[in-house]
A and B are shown apart, each in its own frame.
Chain A
Amino acid sequence: MAQREATAPVSLRASGAVARRQAVSRGSRYVLLAATLVGVFVLLVLAYETAIEGADRISWSFITNYPSRFADQAGLRSSILGTAWVMGATIALAFPIAIGTAIWMEEFAPRNILLTIVKLNLANLAGVPSIIYGILGLALFVRFLEMGPSILAGAFTLSLMIIPMTVIASQEAIRQVPPSIKEASLAVGATHWQTVRHHVLPGAMPGIMTGIILATSRAIGETAALIMIGAFTFIAFDNTSLTDDFTTVPIQIYNWTIRPQEAFRQNAAAAIILLMVAVVGLNLIAALIRERFRRE
């Protein structure tokens, strides 16, 4: 026993400068973890604050009433309808064009300078601020093509905005389809388009759908571009055609936020809860599709 203690100084534990470096490194884990949790913490605080502020205002009449200058009578009816119309038209316009572009780039485009230009152009368009799309919509659709601040003008504007991100997601999905499937189809005599139509597209569909849903969730919250084309208006009727003036839920939130009265602040919070339910719902669906088809 005594002999063992004599040789004990040979320890694996570091001392001096090395021990200090190791302690600093161990400590760094907690500092960095704290930084990571800042984002999560902010997310939770925001969710909590909104729920506290707005939950009491959510009722059936809040959804079915037109906007009003009296906060307790104001509702989201016209903005929900406007959002539904503009999103429907945007989806119908944007997605065929986006998927067509992605198919052309991945399957039909000649591998030359033209393809490079289209690719670079898309990457840059995806980074253009939404308010610039709003300016384009204002000058081109509202004024030059004389559509006015209509649902159609809004849908065209939002379509141009979400096409780049949808193309990029769809390209990714098309690239994931194994070439062996394509080669098999071509080998039994199918034409290039038949191969794409019956084998590539179905295989890429889950990825394309994910991209489409995420683009929709971005468009549904878009405010600045639609304000620029003139959708910041008082609407007290139900939209019935694409040429109607319109407003949307995010614009209504903006309208209520900038008013000084506390009661309108509650309305804004209640509308935010509904908007976030839609956005989170869309993101969950996208995540589910991605998980469901990952294994195949």
Chain B
Amino acid sequence: MKGECALQATVDQQAALARALRKQPFRRTSEMVIKTLLLLCAAVSLLTTALIVFVLFSEAWTFFEHVSLAEFFLDTDWQPLFEPSSFGIWELVAGTMNVVLWSLVFALPVGLGTAIYLSEYAHPRTRKVLKPLLEALAGVPTVVYAYFALTVVTQDVLQPLFGRDNIPIFNSLSASLMLAVMILPTIASISEDAMASVPRDLREAAYGLGSTRMEVALRVVVPAALSGIIAAILLATARVVGETMIVAIAAGSTPHLTLWPNESIQTMTGFMLQIGLGDVARGSVKYQSLFAVALVLFMMTLIFNIAATLIVGRYREEYE
């Protein structure tokens, strides 16, 4: 009787063990399924890049069957919508460079000043209040900035200030001012991070030699953080190049080969939005010019972003 019971127990244990062992492969398959699903999720982002590159190149290829590369890169006239049409990209590139130039002129001094103040001068409590306020500027939808550029900046400030004859209703200056506000948090925040990670020893050595606070900030901290600052400027430039609503609403839709701020211009993104708004027939050269411009835009932002990543990478090596 007793022996039978013991035997029974062993049988039960064996069955339990067998069940557990049988369960093991099931657990392993479900692990495999989940692992595969997660891998597929990660593949989505790779696929996105592949599709962007494929769509841009294939449609641009069709465009360049109708318009020669020579015309695209050598002609200086962008007139795709009316006959006789011509497709010289430079007027659009000049429009983009125009707003890049002027937005950086305004955003750089203010952004770097902010970064230096927050990193080197401000009390930690002041910084804790000011930094989130500045970063709130980065969360404002760009169509809101666009509204301000056209109404407040142009109509309420610039035109009364300089006269309607000197400032047309659509001008690159108002767009650049709002673009500067848009990139201010990018420049200030990334530069401040770079300055904050400059080792304390460098500052203390400079103070020890009798430097003032400003001399430490400008001659020691800023040069030491320079690669981070340059990366911030490159990222900000990429954002200006890719920004659409502000320039489409406030800067106008007349391509001009100019860097003056008081003229109506059209940027690459502005042209793309103009095509997107209307119903240009699919398959027409106008429609395909959209993809050719998009390809140039994509390449430009890619170069700025990669340059920023490379510079940040180098900068990290220096201090670790």
Contact = CB atoms under 8 A, between A and B. Distances in A.
- A and B assemble together: yes
A276 interface: yes
B44 A97 contact: yes
A143 B282 contact: yes
Interface stretch (B6-14, B49-57, B77-85, B159-167): B49-57
B146 interface: yes
B241 A49 contact: no
B7 to A, nearest CB: 29
A193 B28 CA distance: 10
B276 A36 contact: no
Contact of B52 (A96, A127, A132, A279): A132
Contacts of B242: 128-132
Contacts of B37: 100
Given A100-B42, A132-B297, A223-B141, A138 B49 contact: no
Interface string B21-50: 000000100110011011111101110110
Contacts of A96: 41
Contact of B45 (A125, A214, A232): A125
A222 B141 contact: yes
Interface string A182-211: 000000000111000000000000000000
B30 A33 contact: no
Contacts of A39: 110, 114, 133-134, 137, 181, 184-185, 188
Interface stretch (B65-73, B194-202, B211-219, B255-263): B211-219
- Most A-side CB within 10 Å, residue of B59, B148, B282: B148
Given A122-B45, A131-B273, A222-B141, A272 B38 contact: no
A18 B316 CA distance: 36
B112 to A, nearest CB: 8
A221 B144 contact: yes
B41 A104 contact: yes
A131 B272 contact: yes
A250 B141 contact: yes
Interface in A265-296: 265, 268-269, 272, 275-276, 279-280, 283, 287
Given A97-B41, A101-B42, A132 B110 contact: no
Given A35-B109, A257-B146, A224 B215 contact: no
B121 A109 contact: no
Nearest to B47: A160
Contacts of A218: 139
Contacts of B185: 39
Given A39-B184, A104-B38, 4 more contacts: A21-B215, A101-B44, A127-B304, A280-B139
23 contacts: A21-B215, A29-B121, A29-B213, A36-B117, A39-B133, A39-B137, A39-B185, A100-B37, A100-B41, A122-B45, A124-B302, A124-B309, A127-B235, A129-B298, A130-B242, A131-B297, A135-B272, A160-B44, A222-B141, A224-B245, A227-B273, A254-B143, A269-B147
Interface of A: 18, 21-22, 24-25, 28-29, 31-36, 38-40, 42-43, 45-46, 49, 53, 96-101, 103-105, 108-109, 117-118, 120-125, 127-132, 134-136, 138-140, 143, 160, 163-164, 167, 191-193, 214, 217-218, 220-224, 227-228, 230, 232, 250, 253-254, 257-258, 265, 268-269, 272, 275-276, 279-280, 283, 287
